Structures are given as structure tokens and as C-alpha cells.
Amino acid sequence: MEDTIASISTSIGIGAISIVRISGNEAIRIVNEICSIDLTNIESHTINYAHIMDKDEIIDEVLIMVMKSPKTYTKEDVIEINTHGGINTTNKVLELLLEHGARMAEPGEFTKRAFLNGRIDLTQSEAVSDLINAKTDASRRLAINQVNGKINEKINNLRDKMAKLISNIEVNIDYPEYQDELQITVELLNKELREIKKELDKIIEDSKNGRIISNGINVAIIGKPNVGKSSLLNALLDENKAIVTNIAGTTRDLVEGSITLNGVAINFIDTAGIRETSDVVEKIGVDKSLEAKNNADLVILVINNNEELDEEDKKLLASADENTIIFVNKSDLDSKVELNLSNYVKGNTLSLDGIRPLKEAIISKFSLDKIMNKDMTYVSNLRQIDLIKKAIMAINSAIEDVDNNVEIDLIEINIKNAWELLGEVTGKVYTDEIVDTIFSNFCLGK
């Protein structure tokens, strides 16, 4: 935290501009040493025209944004140098900053400093990475709400409720003569804990929506050979992504592509036809298909409408579960299939109208028409979800202790445990190892 750090904050490549960022107590001094103008008395939050110099040589014509602490991203002095977007020029500016005393920033170190200096909490920090990696408008909206602290607000409100309970319990135990303090009865404790649990359960229930919006839905397209899986993928993507022939076993490896439905990324995986085979290469493809099926959020089982069900079809249908949509393909041909099932849709890959029933089934399956709302205050981060689930377990233990008339000071232990776990969600409680791990996944310069 004592070092002044620097890094390129834009993608490496040729473009109109690149931004080199520097943050720390020595930021203004270091940049001033390689700048054609005096930055020491420049007003904060101004943009200034200058040249970057290496002794008497002009390196680049730049715009320099000066932002003095504490009203900056890191709460330290921050300078951003807008250079021309050439690779060599940008690297040269960074090289000069390092030569004059800056240290190369680690991945995510600017955001890490923003967290350690108290400008943002851990939920907001992790949301910064989600915002950078957002692939859909919905995932962007989700991330920006998290960056703005809406999750932090929810968690802190629950921690405040727990803190009041803990405080009143301790006062009741240590100073029973203080009649002005709230008397913690079994009935009151039971009521408060169940309300806290209800709110935590709601956060976890809603987190399913958050994960869908953030990561999308992984969909495996399976079926026996030659039922139209690759044609279905091509129709869904509206491009010739997979090779289509009338030769059984054409697809040997996984072919992937994504579309957006109701603002959510749907990641399709076309798999090799599943059947018994002695072909070594095809068998590897079949094994990959089964692995993709087991790891998918949703399975689309494709059946040929124009062929009677054989043993391979029946075997696959028998393995279908609640996460499976059966797509009876080639509905434009005479039907030879009889299904005594409710979870199937008919369609074909000849036109957009032919696959519309399947898209509607996916939207209905995940309620994609309902998860998008103005609030979009969902938890989507696995670390946060895991900690909240552990906090729920601690609250459940506290409720169970209340029901069993356990001593109140023992009940307090579980409430404190839940309070600390929620503190880990926002970063009120943390270890250096956890923080280092979180920010190591960030890109350089952020």
C-alpha cells in the first residue's frame, strides 16, 4: 500500500487512445518528472494537454487527467495518461513511469486499494470484474446494481439486526438490573431469528436468477445420430456453425454457440450422437456428450418425428429428468412417434417459426420473462452465495436451540457466527489470503 503502482488500463493493441494509470502518494511527482508541464499545482480533476518526455526526446502528445485524493477510485492520488493507441508508445510511457519509481500493478490492484481504503466493499469489488466481463445487457445491469452497493445494503441491514440482538442478549446477561434495555424473551428471539432467516432464504432463492443473468444457461443438445442436433444448433444460432450431413456420426466433438433470450445468454453445446459404437474416435465423442449432458443446466433431447422410436431413443427418454426438454424435430414430415409425455415440444429447423416453440419452452422453463426487473438486486457470486448459505445454517441452529430451550448465551454463539459470515460477504471480516485470491482474477490495470 506504500508503493505507487502503474499499469496500462486499456487493451493492448492499435487504437485511437490508450490509458496508462498510476496511483499512490508519489503519482504526481513521478508523472511530473516525465511531463512537459508542471503538475504540482494543477487543480484536481482536470485534464491537461502535455508531452511525455524521455530527457529531451518527445515520446508522445498526451492528455493527462489529474485526480487528487481522496475523491478518486483508489482514494489515493491518481493520474491517467491518455496516449495515442500504439503498442510501442503505450509501453514506453509505462516503462518511463516504472523507471521513475512506480511499481507494476498486480492484477486488480487498483480495485483492491479501493477496497482496502474503504471506498467500496467486497461485493462491489467483485461486481467490478463482473461488469467488465458482462456479455449481455442484463448481466451489465446486474453488475452495475452490485457496484452501486445494493447487495451491500441488504447484507448490512441484516447484520445490523443481528448486532442489535447480540447487544441486547449481552446486556440482559451482564446487566440484568437495566430495565430500560429490551428484554430478550424466547418469543422475541424466535420471531427475530425467523424473520432474518426468511430474508436470507429470499436472497438465496433470488440468487438463482442472479447466476442465470450473470453466467447464462448452459444447454446440451443430445440425441442419437442423425436426428438433427447440428441442424438445430445452426437454426438456433442462425449460422452454419456445425457440419450437417446425412451420414450418422458426423459430429465427433462438441460444437458451441450462444444466443440471447430475454436478455439472458443461452450457451448451446451440440454433442456427438449417443449410441453404442466400436469406433474409438466416435466413442470419445459419445463420452464427451454424456459429460456435457451431466454438466448442463438444461438438456434438449432431440427425437426424429419421422422415425419410430428405437432402443437408443427409449434409453435416452428413460434418462430424461426435470431438467430436460424433449424436442420432436422434423415436424414438417409425417409423424411416426408416439410419446406419452407432457414435457415435449414439436418443431423443425427449416425456419425461425420452426424453432420458436423450443425457445418459448426455454423461456418458460427458467421464467426468463419474470427475472428481469427494475431492481435486479441479485447475488450471483459463488463465494457470496456459499457464505450466505453457511449463515442460514447458523441461524437454523440458533432457531433449533431456541426451540430446545438452550441457554441464551449458547444461542448467541450461532447468531455471532452468522453475523461474522455475512461480514465476510461484504468484507467487514476478511483475511489477506481471501482478498489476494479475489483480486488475482482481475485484469491488469483495474
How is residue 231 written as a grid cell? 441442424
Give me the domains of the chain, ranges plus CATH numbers.
Answer: 5-120 (3.30.1360.120), 137-212+377-430 (1.20.120.430), 215-365 (3.40.50.300)
How would you classify the pairing of strands 217-222 and 298-304? parallel
- 410, burial (CB in 10 Å: exposed 0-12, middle 13-18, buried 19+): exposed
Residue 320 buriedness (CB in 10 A; 0-12 / 13-18 / 19+): middle
Task: Give 372-376's long-range contacts (Cβ < 8 A, gap of 24+).
Answer: 372/138, 372/213, 372/262, 372/263, 375/145, 375/150, 376/138, 376/141, 376/142, 376/145, 376/213
SS3 57: strand
What is this structure's pTM?
0.72
In 216-279, alpha helices (H): 229-237
Strand ranges in 251-396 using DSSP code E only, listed in sequence order = 255-261, 264-270, 298-304, 324-329, 344-346
How big is the CA angle at 297 (ends 386 and 341), to the nearest 5 degrees? 135
The tens-digit pLDDT sequence of the chain (446 residues) is 789 999 999 887 788 899 999 999 999 999 999 999 999 999 999 999 999 999 999 999 999 999 999 999 999 999 999 999 888 999 999 999 999 999 999 999 999 999 999 998 888 888 888 888 787 877 887 888 788 778 888 899 999 999 988 888 877 665 555 554 455 677 888 899 999 999 999 999 888 888 888 888 888 888 887 788 888 888 888 766 544 444 444 444 567 788 888 888 888 887 765 555 555 555 566 667 667 777 788 888 888 888 888 888 888 888 888 888 888 888 888 888 777 777 788 888 888 888 899 899 888 888 887 776 656 678 888 889 999 999 999 999 999 998 888 888 888 899 999 999 999 998 888 888 888 888 888 887 88
Cα 423 from Cα 84, distance rounded (Å): 44
Predicted pLDDT at 243: 46
Question: What confidence score (pLDDT) does residue 282 get?
Answer: 52
Strand pairing partners for 217?
Answer: 266
* 416's grid cell: 455471532
What is the per-residue pLDDT for 378? 81
Determine the pLDDT at residue 247: 42
